[in-house]
Amino acid sequence: MTEMAEKKIHQAMFLQLILQYQTTAMIGMGKIKNPMTDKIEREMDHAKFSIDMLDMLKSKTNGNLESDEEKFLDQILRDLKLNYVEESGKDKTSSKSENDKTETKSADFEGEKSAE
């Protein structure tokens, strides 16, 4: 195998590795179906782990990537981090609305008791 052919194979393998972690993160955020269960599942800790792995790869490969590889990795990380923040915000919003519902029910219950 020539050096050029080996370099192309390694580049394809590196891009495939990035895509695997991207897919795992998207599954963890509930953005795409889990192919094993055929269901949308949210496991934010799995998503965070995949994003952290890509951050580590970026750090460890700093200065060793071709320009297009670096741009690809940067874009994937940007997209994943934006999606992660968005999904994390949904958790905070839903837990806040759950607390509001609980407080409203408690207040309604207290109001009913005092009316008796």
Q: Answer whether residue 111 shows pLDDT above 90.
A: no
pLDDT for residue 112: 58
The predicted model scores a pTM of 0.77
The average pLDDT across 63-92 equals 94
Q: Which residue, among 56, 5, 46, 2, has the nearest Cα to 24 in the 3D structure?
A: 46
Percent of the chain scored above 90 by pLDDT?
Answer: 73
93 versus 115: which is more confidently predicted? 93
Per-residue pLDDT tens over the stretch 11-63: 999 999 999 999 999 999 999 999 999 999 999 999 999 999 999 999 999 99
112 versus 9: which is more confidently predicted? 9
The Cα–Cα gap between 90 and 74 comes to 25
pLDDT for residue 101: 60
pLDDT for residue 1: 78
- The H or E element spanning position 8 is helix 3-28
Composition of the chain by helix, strand, coil, percent to 5: 80, 5, 15
